[in-house]
Structure 1
């Protein structure tokens, strides 16, 4: 038995000594620190600028519904303004709501021997929901909601010299999508496209083109770049 103990002791002693070695000198390496993913949850606000292009169409028809004539014209414009929103992240999905208001320089017109007129818009706004998919600091999303604007319509009848001017507030729908990237914990840049449709609205002529009804429809496409601060 004594001889067995003597044989085992050279094995046991180094094992015991190895257990007493200080951490990091022959022990297991420390576990790697896992990276923290960016959180999109929070309130944000910022500004945006972009370009809008679209089509306006004004129709004139007899009050009995008989078709008369119609005019189509472009209303391209630079747009710019501010926005505020809130995101809430659930795993990789991001739910949000956003509102914006923008200045617009939209001004389109038609002009011939029988009729002159056009429409201007100075501002537009929207309130939308957002649904996105986050890949750390990169977010791709879809958005949709309600849009608002005001049309300033003007008409001139060359035959009589009569003029019409009317302001019409309208709501419509808007939908699109975009991408955002968080350069830091607070600074977010993005690019977004939206399609907006304000529908068709009509009225009876007052001064110019008496005896005719006019109706108007407006659709537009807009691409924006944005910069936001996340609080």
Structure 2
């Protein structure tokens, strides 16, 4: 029994030559099929889409240009002659108690003018983000003037009764406006909207004049009676040609590429001068122009 089992086991472990040949044939057929499949052309749409790098219009570089403009604004003359009045009434009781120099005698006034100018700047660009610095200049003729007079009666602590009249005039003619800006823009293909903030300087001819006249009557009832007082009319004038004022600017605009190196510009700028020789001036300007970039 044991001998028969060993002999049977020996026969079951041997692989016949026919079986080996069959296995080799199946392997060759499978390998050939895979190779043929690898050589087959790729069907359209069987692979995912491949996207290239985005292309942005080139705004980077130095640029120069010119523009035409229209400006309008307001000039606040209300405190334009206060220092002149304070100088004439310096050390008087009526000034220290009634503060005559603070009386508002001049109103706000509007001013407008057409103009022209130019600009130069540099843009740096990162994909569709553009940052730059620009110097902008406008030449125009913004002129306005105002005049007024006020009279009041007032009793002071020294028992004098005052009748006082104040007349004031002021005029301004602004001729030049320049602003240095920092710009931020979006390169939206062939057009670029942008915003900016900066500092501004303006030049103007400013004329101011104030006249003071008063009488004072003793109402103390003292004996002997004190003398009555009279002053004026006295006028003080301040004329300044080419006076400078400083302020800030802000605005919005758009550059539109007409050619690779030529662009059209439209923008709005607001400028506020904090103290222009005791006058407060606000200027709003709309511009349209052409620029050349390098």
**TM-score (normalised: structure 1):** 0.75
Partner of 1:223: 286
Partner of 1:199: 274
The separation in 2 between residues aligned to 1:177 and 1:56, in whole angstroms, is 23
Whether contact under 8 Å (1:60, 1:67) holds in the other structure is: no
Q: CA deviation at 1:68?
A: 3.9
Which of the residues 65, 70, 80 maps onto 1:46?
Answer: 65
Which of the residues 123, 145, 155 maps onto 1:109?
Answer: 145
Confirm whether residue 72 of structure 1 aligns to residue 72 of structure 2: no
Partner of 1:150: 203
Partner of 1:165: 239
The separation in 1 between residues aligned to 2:262 and 2:75, in whole angstroms, is 37
Q: CA deviation at 1:66?
A: 3.2
The RMSD of aligned alpha carbons is: 3.8
Structure 1 stretches lacking a partner, 5+ long: 1-30, 203-214
Q: Flag the 1:32–1:142 CA change in 2: closer, same or farther, 3 A.
A: closer
Q: CA deviation at 1:36?
A: 4.5
CA deviation profile, 1:25-59 (whole Å, cap 9, x unmatched): xxxxxx99988431111111010111111000113
Whether contact under 8 Å (2:106, 2:148) holds in the other structure is: no
Structure 1, 179-188 or 115-124: larger mean CA deviation: 115-124
**TM-score (normalised: structure 2):** 0.60
Q: CA deviation at 1:136?
A: 1.0
Partner of 2:187: 134
Q: CA deviation at 1:116?
A: 2.9
Whether contact under 8 Å (1:56, 1:219) holds in the other structure is: yes
Q: CA deviation at 1:181?
A: 0.8
CA deviation profile, 1:69-103 (whole Å, cap 9, x unmatched): 23211121112111111111111110011102221
The separation in 2 between residues aligned to 1:34 and 1:115, in whole angstroms, is 68
Q: Tell which structure's C-alpha radius of gyration is larger.
A: 2
Which of the residues 127, 130, 136 maps onto 1:91?
Answer: 127
Confirm whether residue 60 of structure 1 aligns to residue 113 of structure 2: no
Helix, strand or coil for the counterpart of 1:122?
strand
Partner of 1:120: 173
* Regions of 4+ moved over 4 Å: 31-36, 156-163
The separation in 2 between residues aligned to 1:119 and 1:188, in whole angstroms, is 36
Q: CA deviation at 1:170?
A: 1.5
Q: Flag the 1:85–1:187 CA change in 2: closer, same or farther, 3 A.
A: same
Higher-strand-fraction structure: 1
